[in-house]
């Protein structure tokens, strides 16, 4: 698996999976999948490979599934949230100090229609809303 872009939507390619995903998804569900990636995280070794991003998934009674960008979104398309303006932090060390992921994670979930939301506001690219097959579930 390689992260092909550094902002938002991406595709997963390659022959290995992140350890967390390997427990829940078969390789055929991962290979070539269009996903939403949280980027600019501090570097961590996962399965012996350095990672600076996290593939976002919804997990509920229906299982685990990727948060996916809308059809037509280009790899690397920026995901935004109406009412939450701002530019991404370019320095991962600053984000680590702010504990940005730990602060945001409790407010990430899919709604009753499967739309991925932050504080109830849809994840969106210029092409539309990001979704997951699991509804009413936390995103991590």
For residue 3, is pLDDT > 50? no
DSSP character for 43? P
Residue 110, token pair as written in the block: 């899919």
In a domain, 38, yes or no: yes
Helix, coil or strand: residue 116: strand
- Averaged over 112-138, what is the pLDDT? 95
Band of residue 112 on the pLDDT scale cut at 50, 70, 90: very high
Q: How far is it, in rounded angstroms, from Cα 26 to Cα 24?
A: 7
Sign of the alpha-carbon torsion through 16, 52, 107, 125:
negative
Domain that includes residue 84, residue range: 2-129
Contact 109, 36 (CB under 8 A): no
DSSP 8-state secondary structure symbol assigned to residue 26 = -
With respect to residue 101, please indicate whether it lies within any of the assigned structural domains.
Answer: yes
What is the pLDDT at residue 58?
94
Q: What is the CATH number of the domain that holds 96?
A: 2.40.50.140
Domain count of the chain? Answer: 1
Q: How far is CA 84 from CA 37, 121, 134, in A?
A: 18, 9, 25
Q: Are 133 and 57 in contact (CB under 8 A)?
A: no
Identify any residues that bridge with 72 across adjacent strands, giving them in sequence order: none
Q: Does residue 136 form part of some domain?
A: no
| Average pLDDT taken over every residue of the chain | 78
Domain assignment present for residue 134? The answer is: no
Q: What is the pLDDT of residues 56-78, one digit of tens each?
A: 999 988 688 999 999 999 998 98
Q: Measured between alpha carbons, how far is 124 from 78 in angstroms, rounded to an integer?
A: 8
Please give the residue that has the higher pLDDT: either 76 or 87.
76
């Amino acid at each position: 698996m390689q992260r092909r872009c550094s902002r938002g939507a991406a595709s997963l390619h390659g022959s290995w999976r992140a350890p967390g995903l390997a427990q829940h998804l078969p390789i055929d569900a991962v290979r070539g999948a269009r996903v939403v990636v949280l980027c600019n995280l501090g570097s961590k070794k996962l399965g012996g490979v350095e990672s600076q991003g996290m593939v976002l998934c919804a997990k509920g009674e229906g299982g685990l599934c990727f948060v996916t960008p809308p059809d037509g979104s280009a790899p690397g398309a920026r995901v935004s949230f109406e009412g939450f303006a701002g530019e991404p932090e370019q320095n991962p060390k600053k984000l680590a100090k702010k504990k940005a992921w730990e602060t945001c994670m409790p407010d990430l979930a899919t709604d009753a229609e499967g739309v991925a939301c932050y504080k109830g506001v849809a994840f969106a690219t210029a092409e539309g809303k990001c979704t997951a097959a699991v509804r009413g579930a936390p995103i991590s």
